[in-house]
Amino acid sequence: MSTIYRLAAGAVVALGSLIGLNAATQAADTIHNTPSTVCESCHKEIYRQWKGSMHANSTALNDPIHGTFYKKVVGDPLQEDVKTKAGAYPVCLQCHAPNAAIEKSTKLDAKESYNEGVNCVACHTLKSFKGINAPGGKLRLGMLSYERVDTLQGPAGFTNGLQQLSAATDMFGGATAADGDKPNPHLGEPVTLDGKEIPALTMESNPGLMKSNAACMGCHDKRNNAHGVPLCATGNEYMVSKSDVTCQYCHMPMVNNMADHSMGGGHDDGMLKRSIVFTMDTQTEGDKIKVTARLKNQQPHALPTGAPFRNIVLKLTAYDSTGQVLWENAPEHPAKDDPQAYFAYLLADDAGKDAMPPTATQLGADTRLRPHEQRELGYEIPAEGVALVRGEVHYNLLWKVLADQFTHLPEDLRSSRTIAVAEARL
């Protein structure tokens, strides 16, 4: 088993053994129903990483925030034949439950592969990216934006052609070559592993897709609501940055010769802390302390990006020698008290008032940090008694109004996360 694992892991594919049933009876067109627990047989570490990712928890049954909006806007994720108010199949399932979307199902617990969200086969059967702009000006999102195939797609595949040529003239049939005597399902040979019959499933090399942003943009490019208002536009933000860094470079870095399938993003503390550089300078002039706070976006897209209700706030506080608060930039919330310290993507209704994603008819203010932007904020603080000025950058998954309203959500989804801190002693 270790040999098989080493071969497949080197190819960086989150699919080791597929369809651990009778291989010969498995039709190729059912590959999207293959649960990732089958892949775990060989790819244990990759499976462990993926299992803790938001991709593995993307459905309305496992992502509490998405589930809340889904139930309000679409309906019950445990019911079949659910339609939108316009009578259409819910487009959000194209990304959040792609295997269910392929079969036009809305009952997300009907099959294990549905409830696994973006699982192994959801990504590793994508052949090419058609783009999200369909003829006629409409958007085609998620699975609709790709050509899918029943042959596994990997970033490297198995370059064993030379070995096969050598084996033809080798009296030992190539059996003495490294791993030559160990069958591998991706090399076209069935495998018996832990009592399971693993079928011969050839894997194609497809680095043009798997190592490019195209593998991600079907879901992470742009999403409009029913009124045509962009709710997220990470792809557009990336294009503006003119960066050559791929999504995988940051979100799936190579670790021990394998791409990390944790795929950290807006829920990952490590990713959030690396996303920003926060520094602060202070200068006392008379009875005032002048503070310059600098926030530098390290990413080739906006900060924050993705779901429109994600936001960042800067909290600036002056303390005396006993740790008592003498001054704050935003005693309640910066959206009201200090708008320059609120970094958010807001949506509005026809009257220009704040609106929720499903009902917004136009964009509101967009005060987020642009790709690679460094922004300076200036403050003047009364100097009397001040011993320390502390700045904290907080990341929120939800607008405050939603965090206050969605009391059923786990506290860690409703609370701020501190992603950067700077202090100046006086």
DSSP per position, 330-398: -SS-HHHH-GGGEEEEEEE-TTS-B--TTT--EEEEE-SBPTT-EEEEEEEEE-TT--EEEEEEEEESS
Residue 176 lies in a domain: no
Place of tokens 């005060």: 367
What would the two tokens of residue 393 be? Answer: 């950058």
Domain extent, residue 206, equals: 2-157+188-259
Q: Are residues 209 and 236 in the same domain?
A: yes
Q: Are residues 193 and 314 in the same domain?
A: no
Q: Specify the CATH number for the domain of residue 333.
A: 2.60.40.2360
**Distance separating alpha carbons of residues 162 and 174, to the nearest angstrom:** 11
Q: Are residues 104 and 252 in the same domain?
A: yes
Q: Are residues 51 and 113 in the same domain?
A: yes
Residue 29 lies in a domain: yes
The reported pTM is: 0.87
Q: Are residues 325 and 374 in the same domain?
A: yes
Residue 243 lies in a domain: yes
- Residue pair 304/343 in contact (Cβ under 8 Å)? The answer is yes
Q: Which residues contact 62 (CB under 8 A, 6 or more apart)?
A: 56, 115, 117
- Residue pair 26/19 in contact (Cβ under 8 Å)? The answer is yes
Indicate the residue among 234, 259, 284 that finishes a domain: 259
Residue 358 lies in a domain: yes
Give the model's pLDDT for residue 182. 61
Residue 174 lies in a domain: no
Indicate the residue among 237, 259, 281 that finishes a domain: 259
What's the pLDDT tens digit per position in 25-80? 343 347 899 899 888 888 899 999 999 999 999 999 999 999 999 999 999 999 99
What would the two tokens of residue 109 be? Answer: 């617990």
What's the pLDDT tens digit per position in 349-406? 999 999 999 999 999 999 999 999 999 999 999 999 999 999 999 999 999 999 999 9
Among residues 295, 297, 281, 303, the alpha carbon closest in space to that of 425 is found at 281
Q: Are residues 304 and 251 in the same domain?
A: no
**Distance separating alpha carbons of residues 121 and 151, to the nearest angstrom:** 10
Residue 399 lies in a domain: yes
Residue 166 lies in a domain: no
Residue 351 lies in a domain: yes
Instruction: Report how far apart the first and last C-alpha atoms of the chain are (Å, whole number).
Output: 62
Lowest mean pLDDT among 166-175, 199-208, 262-271: 166-175
